[in-house]
Each structure stands twice: as structure tokens, then as C-alpha cells.
Chains A and B, each alone.
Chain A
């Protein structure tokens, strides 16, 4: 489904021309669990690689953009994760051009990017689109802005304890704004019906349109209509 002009939702990613954009991957969740004293081993990397490949097959891009937060914020990276992350990047690098957008959690992005000679950008402009992570204000934005960072999700009165990841489309000043959900299957996201967002790009969400991705994309109209 098209979310705007020629920008299309493909599962949890966005496609524009030959570009395929992924939101926060947050690899290394296992490590972050351990650092919080939660000794439940859980490696989601295989799952992430699998779903990334599935989307690539569907979208057939030439260039892949990772929009920030490749790695989760906690602690140093374990040998295993380091290997896994590299494996993941190598698997993409062989066939596609890779571009990283710098996120606020990316302590290891630079060493990895350096090691594999990948471009890191604060902002990537393609035609009339600017892709940024969304944690801080960036100048000289194009007409349409795509951010991730906030992990939007929504719940319904009928099932208050279940969250559905969603894309948001609205306005930031005179720009069109698209917010991507988290790609990581373990991050359910923040509930837009009750949580407040920190991003300087998101103030009042009532007029934002909501797109939920399950077996297909469902346009739920504006947030104020749902409540």
C-alpha cells in the first residue's frame, strides 16, 4: 500500500524507487536482557535476517537504508553478536549498496561501518525526501521526512493489552512526516493512544493517519477517529 506519493509500505519497511528503508533493528537484545539482570537467553538475529530477506525478495531494491539504531543501547557487544552483526551486514553488502543513518543508540555502528567500509549519514536526501533517525532536529529538510526512533504502536479498547505496530503519517511544520515502527520483533513499541513521545518531530498526533501491518496493510484513518 502507498503511504504517500511513491512511497510504499512493504511489511515493516518502506520502499521508494530502488531504495528500501528499514527502521530500528536493535540487534543485541539478548545482551540487553542480561545487562538488566534478565537471564533469559533470546537471540532474535536469525529471525531478523529471515524477515529482512523476505522483504527484500518482495521489494527487489538496489539500495538498502538502515534508519538508525542497528544495535541496542546496552553494554559492549559480545563476540557472538559481533559475528552475527557482521554476518548480517555482509549478507546484504554482497548484493546491495548499504547506507546507515546514525541513530542515538549506535555505539558500535561506526566500528562496524569502518570495518566494512559503509557510508554513515546523519541525513539522507533522495529527491524530495529526507531520511533521518528522528531523535534530534536536523536542518535543511526536504518536503517529506521519514523518521524511525519512536517505535509507534497502537492498542484498542477491546484488547487493551495487545499492541499493534504501526506507521504514522502526518505533518511536521510544512513537511509531510512518516514515522516507521521498530523492525525488531521483540520491541512492541510505544502505545500512541497513551504514551507521550520525546521526538521533537512529534507533538500532537491526533491528526496523524495510522497504518497497521498484519497480513496486509490496514489504513485506520486518523488517530482522533479511532478513540
Chain B
């Protein structure tokens, strides 16, 4: 296997040389010269080499991929050799990409046909979850030469006996937006489908199209698997950047929330006024709703129909409507959570605003890439910060973006739930020998290190070996013959069951929120679990008081004048990337060095100014922030982990770890330490986590340092396995994994369950599966997902190792009030409780409390 970055572009002449005269003429008339991605990629595709093309949105990536392919198909057509089968499979994570395909494929073909007065007879078909059965039937007779599809529909086609026949000699497979697939289980699923397709079509090359992402080598391997070669065309940094961090006020500390709020919307209004169409990212759904609401409220004459919200909880119809209006240029601004990060064509955008940190450099670059549509346009992005931590974070992020330091992507590995789903799909297609199957699976990059033991467990699971022999007819999905080592599908329902249940995107079990019979919206089931009667929370920009719930409905009343008493749902918060976190830590160290070396204020501001590409106001604000921290105690950094002890007026003890590693790592460290403390002292410990650190709190003294010292890179895995055992997050992820592994079915015996109709609690499910085996493969996968994908145990181990080796020094400080750097963290409140006290002890303590209360009266 080898991965090679393409160093030299091809010249126009070289490319024209290989093109059919019809394609050549069309290109010359249309563009005159080739774009940079085209100069890198057309010839390798023509030579049938695997290639990854990484370039910004709007740089003609799609056409780049299709040029050589159209050329080849036209050649075949002219020679009368075009057969009734699929030559090209184009896979996109998005269903609604007809516009993109229209521009980059259908129109060019039409123009070439009319210009040459020929009809090529090249058929293009779209097959997604929305495609009607009749249209699918048609595809069997008049097969599309180019098929446009999604990862899920591809898997369905591969398992369809008739359709998979037509996929036997595919020449090209294009994976669009591969960066967005690689980082989640949809991509893991796709990686196996690609191997299945590759097995049927041995001449097939793979073409990956990606936005800005790092490291490209890993994405390339993800594309081609662990054995094949791949070329890489890196044209990521073509556009010119105009990027800035701005703060709505010059002083972020001596200001009331009300003033800040007011200034923020004036600033937004000003920016919107200066631009034709602005795209605003808010990170969360709640934030999106809030911003739209306030813009309309504050400027009722300016913003009514011309601004819109776009996020995942809104109906599909609403979202498509917004996208259409955007393309037609009818909107002044669109506010979205993260939903418009992906590359559907959304027309002309001349400004991208990120409200709050985008948390990763790659994400920021992808977002701002949505502006400035033509290739050499300038990309305009503004990061608006609302507090001092945000200011520091966004400033370092800006520096990385300008200096093109992209943070690394995380690709999930060895996902057993996805594996189960795919093996089931393969067994439906035909009989497989398990040894050959194992070899094939290991060719996919995410499974290159798959253990045979884990694979065998999945075969056993699918064969229903976890249930009693008598009931196996209910639970087994495949048969497994130990003598021949073959597997195949089992039961008449297998195919239907597979077809109606596949997919990797979890259904969140949500609960309807109603006032009487009127539906207000929905909240997550887990969020409901935390609500108590009388709690006030924000939904869709308004505040509601929770009254009671029954089944899947929560009844509330509107309390517009009241403030929320419970924090908004935090699970959708984006985590800060580890690489960016390290850069912020490094910056902290540089600044502290200047303080230690007694540099003047001017010198330090000058340094901040130059190092971070900031204006004076912002540099000054950062200086003040760091100065306060330095004068009060010390500045924590990448070589010094500060642990801060204090207690509040009720004598509740707090221990703050200034571990700026991002919340994925802090999730691990905080729970591991809390687990160790709770284990030593047998009490629940409260945990508060954010990207900049974490705190533990309790009314008892906590033996934090002793607990922290017990942790090592070696025992962390085992400690964490225990620490997450009773958490909500494990239960929830187990449900997701069980659905992916088809252990929980959305649709069964003709009944489709609506999300939220599942009455069986996650707790019972977990109990039931543990009764089978505490290390049942799907449960094992849920633990892996929590520790590796949701949290970041690998980097947490590295952090611990650096502490043990002395590379990072641990320093304790005792304060009476939290230091400035700890302030936001403590203010945000706790995110979870590490339960250690057992059920009976807990009830005894609650009982004592009630008795005490009664006696007081």
C-alpha cells in the first residue's frame, strides 16, 4: 500500500490530449482552462488510479470527479459498447443533492449532446430512501450507468439479489463529502459497503471528495482500505481568507448580561446590513431559535420573512424550503446550528458568522468555506465572542486557520454494531465462508485491526446463540454451519427485517411537549428524566414550566416572564478539538513566561497582538484576563496542570482541574478521578465538565490527590469501564448500538415504531443484556463508543502518561474564591453525578434527611 501526494499539476494541453473531442470542445467553450482540482485529478482518474481530492466547496470538485468519467462513457457510447449496467456509483451523505448533480452532471452531458448533435444514451439514476418502488423496478430494465445514492441505499442495493447483479462490474465509485462520513458510524458502515462493492467489481477505482480535513493520509486510507494505493490531491487552501474575531463590547467583564445581549444584536444587525446574505452558525438548536427570535423581536421592521432558522429538529419540508429560498437569494440571513456545514449548494453567501467558538479549526474552515462562491473569491468569516474564554479560544483558532494548521479527525474503529448489520446484509445477499468474510472485512480501514474473537462473537450473536435453542427462531438472523464455516440468511422475514431497519443514525427517543392538546415541540427522553415538577426550561426560545409527564408526553405551561431553573440540554455541545486545546495551552505558557520575565504591559499586548492576529481591543482584553489570573495565582498551561481547592459559603468543597484538553478528554479524566474518590469514600461526587477543565464537588472532604495518583495510563481503561457502568450515557448509547446491530428493531412484523413509542426503559434493556453476558458484544461496543468516540480515552491516557513522566507538573493551589480561569466552569454547574453510595445507603440518607426536616417543625 502506498499513499502519494500529487506534486505537479497537469497542463491544460496534457488534459485536453486525453479527452474525447466532444468533451474537449465543451470544456474549452465553457471554461477555457481547468481549475486546480481538475489539473490534479482528471488524469489520475483517467488512468484509473484511486484518488482523494481535498478542496474547498465551490472549487468544482464534483465536476473534477465526473470529467474523466463522462469522457469514458462518451467514448464507450460512440463505440456502441455501453452496456445495461452500472459503471459509476456516486455516494453522498445528503439525500437532497439534485441541484448539484444537475449542474455538474446532467447539464454538461446535455450541452455536450446538443453541441455535437449526438445522443449518448447515458442514463443517470437517483436511488435514495425516497425513491419509489416503481422507479427502482424501472432501474432493473433500463439500468442507470451512473447511479447517485446514499450510504444506506447502497447497502440495500448490495443486498438485493437482482440489483446487486447490475453492480458486478462498476468502474468508478465516488464518495462525496468523505470527511463528514469518516468521523461517524455512517462512514464505518460505508467502508464495509465499499469492500463489498469492490469484491464484486475488481476493476473499480475509488474517488474521494473532501472539504478541508486532516490528516489527509488517514482519510485516503479510509477511502481505499488498508491494502490499496491512493493518490492525494491537496488543494485545500485555494481561497483567500478574510477572517476576524470580534467582540460586541470592548470590555467583556464589566458588563451586564442585558447590555451584552443588546450590543450583540446591534452588532449582528450591523453585519447583516453590510452584506447581501449572511449565514450564522450557533452550534446548538436552542441557540438557533434564540437568535432568530431576538432578531425578529428587536428589528421587527427589518427581519420578518427574510430570515430563517435551519436545524435538525425542524421538519424536512421547512429545511428544504429554507434552502430553496437561499438559492433564490430571497433571504437576508439564515441561522443554523451546524446543519448547513455540509456542501449542498445554498447559493450566494457573502458572510459567515460563528456565534461562539466552532471548536475545531477544520469545522471553522468548512463553515467559512460556504461563503464566496467562485473559486478565487475571498472567504469572509467572523467569530463573535461573548466571554473571555471564548475570546481566547476563538483567537487561537483563528491563528490556526490562518496558518493552515488543521486539527486531526477521529475515525471510529472496530465498531461491532455496524459490523453485525453489514454481516447480516451480506448473509442476505449470498452464502459466505466466515474465513473469507473476515479477510474481506479487515480490508476496510476502520476494521484493519479487528480481532478474530470479536468477529466470532458477532457471528454467534447473529446466529442467535445468546438465546435458548427453543426460542432461537425468534432471535437468530443468520444460520451458521460450524462444519463448512458458512453463514447464510435465516427465515423468510430476514430480508424485510433488514430492508426496513438498516441505518446508523440513531433515533433519539424524544418526548412531545404539550400545553393541553397543543404540541409545543419535543425534548430528549434523557432530559425529561432530569426534570422535576416545577422546573423551568427553554424550548424554541420560550420558557416553560414542567407540570407532569405521561408516557411520551410532557405537559408544561408557558411562563414567559420567568428565568429557566435548569440548564439547557448540553449533550449537543460541540467538543473542543484536542489539537486546538493544546495550542491554547501553549499560548497560555508563552504569555505566562512574559509575566514571569517581568515584561511590560505594552510588550505583552504587542506579543498577543502579533501572535494571534488580533486588534488592540481584543489583545487588551486577553491581557487583562491573563493578568488577573496571574496576579491572583498562576496560569495553568501545557506543562503545568493546576488543581485548585476552595469551598463555597455552604462549605461545599470544590476541586477544579485546569485541564484544558477539551471536554472529550475531560469527560474521561473527571469521571476516572470521581470514581476513585467515590470508591475510597463511598459517596456520590458531583462533576462539572467543560472544554477548559473540570471540577468535582461534595460536602465531604475529597481525597482528590490520592485518587488522582492512583490513575495511570495502564489502569485507566478498567477504571473507566466501571465508572461509566451506571451512567445515563452508557444506557443511551447501548440503545443506539442495539438498534444498529438490529437487536432492537424500529420496524418489526409490519409494525413501525415511532420514535419515543419505546416504552421499555434503557435501564431494563441494560439489565436484560447483562443477564445474557456482561461482556456481550453489543454492550462492549456501547462501552467502546462511549470511551473512544464520545469521550477520548486515548488522549486522556497520553495526558496521564505525561504527568507520570514529569513532563507535565501538577500544582495545587488553595483559594477562597475561584480563580478567573475557573469561573465559567464553576458557574455552569454540574453535568453529572458519580454514584457510589449503593441504593440502600442512599435511601437511608434520604430518609434521615426527611426525618430531620420533620423534627425541625
Q: Could you tell me which A residues sit within 8 Å of B by CB distance?
A: 33-42, 78, 80, 156-162, 164, 186, 188, 193-196, 198, 212, 214-215, 218, 220-221, 225-227
Q: Are A40 and B765 in contact (CB under 8 A)?
A: yes
Give the residue of A40, A41, A196, A215 whose beta carbon is less than 8 angstroms from that of B550.
A196
Q: Are B760 and A161 in contact (CB under 8 A)?
A: no
Closest to B843 in A: A214
CB distance from A186 to the nearest CB of B (A): 5
Q: Are B745 and A37 in contact (CB under 8 A)?
A: yes
Q: Are A193 and B530 in contact (CB under 8 A)?
A: no
| Sampled A-B contacts (14; CB under 8 Å) | A33-B768, A37-B746, A37-B748, A37-B749, A37-B751, A41-B468, A158-B833, A159-B835, A194-B533, A194-B549, A195-B550, A215-B840, A220-B846, A227-B533
- What residues of A have a CB within 8 angstroms of the CB of B768 in the complex? 33, 40-42, 186
Q: Are A186 and B850 in contact (CB under 8 A)?
A: no
CB distance from B850 to the nearest CB of A (A): 5
Q: Are A193 and B533 in contact (CB under 8 A)?
A: yes
Q: Are A188 and B546 in contact (CB under 8 A)?
A: no
- What residues of A have a CB within 8 angstroms of the CB of B744 in the complex? 37-40
Contact with A along B124-148 (1 / 0, CB 8 A): 0000000000000000000000000
Q: Are A41 and B533 in contact (CB under 8 A)?
A: no
Give the residue of A160, A164, A193, A226 whose beta carbon is less than 8 angstroms from that of B850.
A226
- What residues of B have a CB within 8 angstroms of the CB of A33 in the complex? 760, 768
- What residues of A have a CB within 8 angstroms of the CB of B747 in the complex? 37
Q: Are B850 and A225 in contact (CB under 8 A)?
A: yes
Q: How far is the CA of A69 from the CA of B710 in the complex (A)?
A: 51
Q: Are B767 and A186 in contact (CB under 8 A)?
A: yes
- What residues of B have a CB within 8 angstroms of the CB of A196 in the complex? 548-550, 555
- What residues of A have a CB within 8 angstroms of the CB of B533 in the complex? 193-194, 227
Instruction: Tell me whether B724 is interfacial, beta carbon within 8 Å.
Output: no
Q: How far is the CA of A42 from the CA of B769 in the complex (A)?
A: 8
- What residues of B have a CB within 8 angstroms of the CB of A39 in the complex? 474-475, 742-745
Q: Are A40 and B843 in contact (CB under 8 A)?
A: no
- What residues of B have a CB within 8 angstroms of the CB of A220 in the complex? 846-847, 850
CB distance from B851 to the nearest CB of A (A): 8
- What residues of A have a CB within 8 angstroms of the CB of B650 in the complex? none
Q: Are B548 and A194 in contact (CB under 8 A)?
A: yes
7 interchain residue pairs of minimum CB distance: A37-B748, A37-B745, A42-B768, A196-B548, A41-B467, A40-B768, A218-B847
Q: How far is the CA of A226 from the CA of B533 in the complex (A)?
A: 12
CB distance from A178 to the nearest CB of B (A): 20
Contact with A along B737-759 (1 / 0, CB 8 A): 01000111111110101000011
- What residues of A have a CB within 8 angstroms of the CB of B767 in the complex? 42, 186
Q: How far is the CA of A78 from the CA of B765 in the complex (A)?
A: 21
CB distance from A80 to the nearest CB of B (A): 7
Q: Are A80 and B854 in contact (CB under 8 A)?
A: no
Closest to B769 in A: A40
Instruction: Tell me whether B853 is interfacial, beta carbon within 8 Å.
Output: yes
Q: Are B763 and A158 in contact (CB under 8 A)?
A: no
Given contacts A159-B684, A193-B533, A194-B533, whether A38 and B549 have CB atoms under 8 Å apart is: no
CB distance from A84 to the nearest CB of B (A): 12
Q: Are A158 and B760 in contact (CB under 8 A)?
A: no
Instruction: Tell me whether B240 is interfacial, beta carbon within 8 Å.
Output: no
- What residues of A have a CB within 8 angstroms of the CB of B738 in the complex? 38, 40
Given contacts A39-B745, A227-B533, whether A161 and B548 have CB atoms under 8 Å apart is: no
Having A42-B771, A225-B853, one finds 8 other A-B pairs with CB under 8 Å, namely: A38-B760, A41-B475, A160-B532, A161-B529, A162-B842, A186-B768, A214-B840, A225-B850
Q: How far is the CA of A41 from the CA of B533 in the complex (A)?
A: 35
Q: Are B764 and A188 in contact (CB under 8 A)?
A: yes
Closest to B741 in A: A39
Q: Are A218 and B684 in contact (CB under 8 A)?
A: no
Closest to B475 in A: A39
Contact with A along B821-857 (1 / 0, CB 8 A): 0000000000001010001101110110010011000
Q: How far is the CA of A40 from the CA of B779 in the complex (A)?
A: 12
CB distance from A27 to the nearest CB of B (A): 15
Instruction: Tell me whether B772 is interfacial, beta carbon within 8 Å.
Output: yes
Closest to A197 in B: B550
Q: Are B758 and A36 in contact (CB under 8 A)?
A: yes
- What residues of A have a CB within 8 angstroms of the CB of B530 in the complex? 160-161
Q: How far is the CA of A226 from the CA of B848 in the complex (A)?
A: 12
Give the residue of A159, A193, A218 whose beta carbon is less than 8 angstroms from that of B833.
A159
CB distance from A223 to the nearest CB of B (A): 10
Q: Are B746 and A158 in contact (CB under 8 A)?
A: no
